[in-house]
Chain A
Amino acid sequence: MDVKLHFPSEKREDFFLLASEIFEVERSLLNENTRYGDVSGWDSVNHLRLVMEAERRFGVSYPLEKIPLMRTLADFFTI
């Protein structure tokens, strides 16, 4: 069953900047279609860091069962 996640649309650019910071890559390398492993900094440790920091900064809550399955940056906006 898909869980609807409300990620504030006005915060999406801030999310990409956060990912850029955590993955230590240029913002221009990231978009919604970027997949886990496409950039070297998106590894398992940084995946969890991004989840936790996104939850804290943007007030969202990702279901535990979905976290390992979030494989594109778009998955952080809708699940």
Chain B
Amino acid sequence: MIRVNEIVLERIEIATGEVEIDNRGVLSDKALEATGFTKRFIVKKGVSLFDLALGAASKIPKDELVEIGGVIAATFSNERRFPQLSVAVASALGLNANIPAFDIQMACSAYPYALYLAGRMAADTGRKILVLDGDIQSALSDPSDVSTTPLFTDAMSATIVSAGEGDSSFVDFYSKSSDILSCEASGPIKMDGFGVFSFVACEVVPFLKRFLAEANETNIDAFVPHQANMYMVRQLANSLALNDKLYTSGEEFANPGSASIPLTIAKRGVSGRVFIAGFGAGLSASAAIVTVKKCD
């Protein structure tokens, strides 16, 4: 567990795919019940990851963009190895060229990783950092694989991060290599569902319990985990005794990868001291307690 300066999320903007897909008739009744994902959203043909990212970031008011002193893009689905998504969006927004802009890749665990880096950069520079987090998962999915494709939504988030002067934030990370969740360069995403479930049950739960015990945070206002599937999310909250703090969005937006955490915070109006947890490919897991400002 790493104790850091307060990481403050000042604003989160979201862009999702515009095409709504009904999962009823695709997933069995039992799979619908387990996942809770009755619908998902994918981008229209021809929409790129850059388009989706700019769509989210462009919602940030211009007077807030001038305060940005760095850009981090967390994604695994950039169609192009370079130019990097962070650099492309920074230029498109007209940001100063003399700021750090770089991409990271940690699949569904990425958001807490990106916030940790952004929080350090914000503290070091005294400026705000733009975190872009999300993916076009549909482009890397096998349409015939009902164990993966119906779960995934395309979405991108844009978060403004600053360094606060209040209570510390806490972050922690966990990883071990496994092919039970894999994706070659051109796809498709392949997943051993029960293997991932077992990883979450047997390794992520103890990791999160240790994190909470070490952070010893007594004032958690909300718990926002990665929206992998609704049964797992509810069971996870139950294991951590955080049922009454749990916020979810999967029942409306399915699984948008690592963007599920910022999407849930934005769409559900979450604010205060928020415990977030990511987990997924690597295999990996991440946790953070951050401060989320209430957005008007």
Contact = CB atoms under 8 A, between A and B. Distances in A.
B198 interface: yes
B205 A65 contact: yes
Interface residues of B, number: 18
A29 interface: no
Contacts of B236: 64
Contacts of A78: none
A66 B201 CA distance: 7
B34 A67 contact: no
Contacts of B30: 49, 52
A68 B197 CA distance: 8
Contacts of A65: 201-202, 205-206, 239
A67 B201 contact: yes
B125 interface: no
Given A49-B30, A52-B33, A52-B34, A64 B239 contact: yes
A70 B83 CA distance: 48
A65 B238 CA distance: 11
Dominant SS among interface residues on chain A: helix
Contacts of A47: 194
Nearest to B231: A52
B197 A48 contact: yes
A31 interface: no
Contacts of B235: 64, 67
A77 to B, nearest CB: 19
A67 B231 CA distance: 12
A69 B201 CA distance: 9
Closest 8 interchain pairs by CB? A44-B194, A68-B198, A64-B235, A64-B239, A64-B201, A65-B205, A68-B201, A65-B201
16 contacts: A44-B193, A48-B197, A49-B30, A63-B238, A64-B205, A64-B235, A64-B236, A64-B238, A64-B239, A65-B205, A66-B201, A67-B197, A68-B197, A68-B198, A68-B202, A69-B202
Given A44-B193, A49-B30, 9 more contacts: A44-B194, A48-B194, A49-B34, A52-B33, A52-B34, A52-B231, A63-B238, A65-B202, A68-B194
Interface of A: 44-45, 47-49, 52, 61, 63-69
